[in-house]
Amino acid sequence: MGKVLELDRVYKAYKFGFIPKKKQVLKGISFYVNEGEIFGYLGPNGAGKTTTIKSILNLIFPDAGRITIFGEDSLKPRAREKVGFLPENPYFYDYLTGREFLAFYADLLGIHGQQKEEKIKYFLNLVGMEKAADLQLRKYSRGMLQRVGLAQALLNDPALVILDEPMGGLDPIGRKEFRDIIVNLKKEGKTVFLSSHILQDIEMICDRVAIILAGEIVNQGYLGDLISEKVLYTEVIVAGLPASEFSHLGESVSTSGNRVLLKVYEEEHIDRIIRLVQEKNGKIISLIPRTETLEDIFVDLVKNQ
Amino acid sequence: MKISTIASNTFKEAKRDRVLYLLLFFAILCFLLSRFLGLLTVGDRVKIIKDVGLASISLFGMLMAILMGTGLVYKEIDKKTIFTLLAKPIHRWEFLLGKYLGLVLTIFIMTVLMSVIFLVVLFLHTFTIEWSLLLAILYIFFELCLMTAVALVFSTFTTPILASLYSLAFYLIGHLSWSLELFIKKVKSGGGRAILKVLYIILPDLENFNFKTEVVHQLPIPTKLLAVSFAYGLVYTAFLLLLAILIFRRRDFI
């Protein structure tokens, strides 16, 4: 499995203000993306996710470090030939219709004639925008822009698709559709680089992740390796008994009506709770073991910072 | 191919700009007013119409080039449309040239439109079509191409308002710099004269493109002068485009 994208100790500082003040945004970022995987790039707002992506695409120039795409230096336009990109909050020429917009990008990419028409039709259909194809982009909602934006990113049949917060403006159904499209891209053998702060999305579809905090990669690896299977605690919901009955067995998190939600850390306490509930004619509503999630890792990392 | 795609899209965008039609409207107004101005003049009325007409084409063409040219690149960065565009396998110079040519095409069409209306207004007065005026208009167009390049240079690094002011200053300096030539002749040779000479070479001389008086008064224009003016325009525009590309090449789009 080859490396599709590789960043080697990339640094970038921005200068702000009339008397320029330096702000180090990327502090020696290094990671790689393997061929055919969905790579999740995770970080809170302002961590440097978009700056990393802009460096990859040559929209900004890193102060130091090296970026290679398919073994080619990212500074050469040729390196971007097999890359598709959807920016965060996509902005496009709003006087074009959806169809004209895709035709413009097809022309730029050297796709012409019959092939152009077919591709535009296919991708409009894929992102579910064929009905709004002849509407000007200024009349599109954010989610609709996101959809034609994705179509634009896929036009040149890219081997690497870079998506910056792709699920931002989408409704739940749209998000599911986008997830399906991304998983399908993987099935077609494409590599996907997905930046997001929505942990659920990353956890659901990514193979490997890198976590960036304040310009530094603090953790990276296969999702399975990062998240342990160990049960952290068990959530027990009991009905018909007051929370005080269980104070020595678990932590009472909330009560609603006659129900109590308990967080139980020790396994033997669960048996004791079950027995207690049976003795006192209460009822166990649910019993869910909680394993570690990406969110836990993420929250831990952010707190430690 | 990529350049022409960007150029045609720039044209599409430019022709939607209302400023263009507002300026065109004022240019037409000036053509019509020149007939009344002619009535007030003692002497050759037709000359006034021609003078005012050519000056209007030059002035409003320049305003179109500056007002639209200065927003050309800035708008792309400000509206972030440049992100998806430059993420495609295109060179930055291709993008800039495409933008430039798109606007030059717009300016060309506007110049043609203004010229046709001007010639029609003149025809209604004299009942002859004066083709010789087209030579003056052609050189006005060359000047507008240069001014578009000036606006593009400023557009690559500053906001439209500042870029417009800079471009306007460039235009004024360009039309007044010929007086430096006169000044040089009056200064004694020495350090001061050398500095003035260098300054004269660096500063643009837009009067090179001004054949209005010669054409209106039907004075002979040496072919060599036309050739030199054309070459001057070409070299200066190429230099400006190169400058814009150099500035733009290493720019970060935050």
User: What confidence tens digit (pLDDT) does each residue in A245-292 have?
Assistant: 888 888 888 888 888 898 898 888 888 889 988 998 889 999 888 887
Span A215-237, mean pLDDT? 83
Does B6 contact A at CB distance below 8 Å? yes
Q: Which of A59, A107, A110 sits opposite B86 (nearest CB)?
A: A59
- Short-list A14, A182, A11, A4, CA closest to A86: A182
Residue B194: which H helix or E strand, with range? helix B191-202
Angle, alpha carbons B20-B94-A75 (nearest 5°): 135
In this predicted structure, what is the pLDDT of residue B142? 96
Distance between first and last Cα of chain A: 34
**Mean pLDDT of the residues in chain B:** 90
Domains of chain A: residue spans and CATH: 3-226 (3.40.50.300), 231-304 (3.30.70)
* Signed CA dihedral, A238, A242, A245, A249: sign only: positive
Test the A interface: residue of B13, B78, B83 with most A CBs within 10 Å: B83
Whether B86 sits inside 8 A of A104 (CB atoms) is: no
Residue B17 scores a pLDDT above 90:
no
Higher pLDDT, B151 or A76: B151
**Mean pLDDT of the residues in chain A:** 88
Angle, alpha carbons B101-B107-B110 (nearest 5°): 145
Span A135-159, mean pLDDT? 90
Cβ-based contacts under 8 A for chains A and B: 75
Taking the CA of residue A81 as centre, how many other CA atoms within 13 Å lie in the half-sphere pointing to its CB? 9
Rounded Cα distance between A80 and A73, Å, is 10
Residue A200 scores a pLDDT above 90:
no
pLDDT, tens digit, 9 for 90 and up, residues B196-225 = 888 888 888 888 888 888 888 888 888 899
**Contact by Cβ (8 Å): B96, B153:** no
Q: Mean pLDDT check: name the lowest of A159-168, A265-274, A292-301, B102-111.
A: A292-301
Spell out the residues 6+ positions from residue A56 whose beta carbon is closer than 8 angstroms to its own.
A5, A7, A67, A69, A74, A162
Q: pLDDT exceeding 70 applies to what percent of chain A?
A: 99
Rounded Cα distance between A302 and A299, Å, is 5
Rounded Cα distance between A27 and A8, Å, is 11
Whether A92 sits inside 8 A of B90 (CB atoms) is: no
Residue A1 scores a pLDDT above 70:
no
- Give contacts of B99 with chain A, Cβ < 8 Å: none
- Name the residue of chain A whose CA is nearest to B86's CA: A59
Taking the CA of residue B227 as centre, how many other CA atoms within 13 Å lie in the half-sphere pointing to its CB? 3
In this predicted structure, what is the pLDDT of residue B150? 95
Residue for token pair 């035709």 = A103
Residue A229 scores a pLDDT above 80:
no
In this predicted structure, what is the pLDDT of residue A53? 93
What does the block give as tokens for B46?
A: 């037709």
The residue ranges of every structural domain in chain B are 2-249
pTM of the model: 0.86
Spell out the residues 6+ positions from residue A160 whose beta carbon is closer than 8 angstroms to its own.
A4, A5, A33, A69, A70, A82, A83, A84, A190, A191, A192, A193
- Highest-scoring range by mean pLDDT, A169-173, A245-249, B151-155, B173-177: B151-155
Give the phi and the psi of residue A58 in degrees, each rounded to 5. 70, 20
Does B84 contact A at CB distance below 8 Å? yes
Whether B87 sits inside 8 A of A152 (CB atoms) is: no
ipTM associated with this complex: 0.82
Span B178-204, mean pLDDT? 84
Whether B253 sits inside 8 A of A105 (CB atoms) is: no
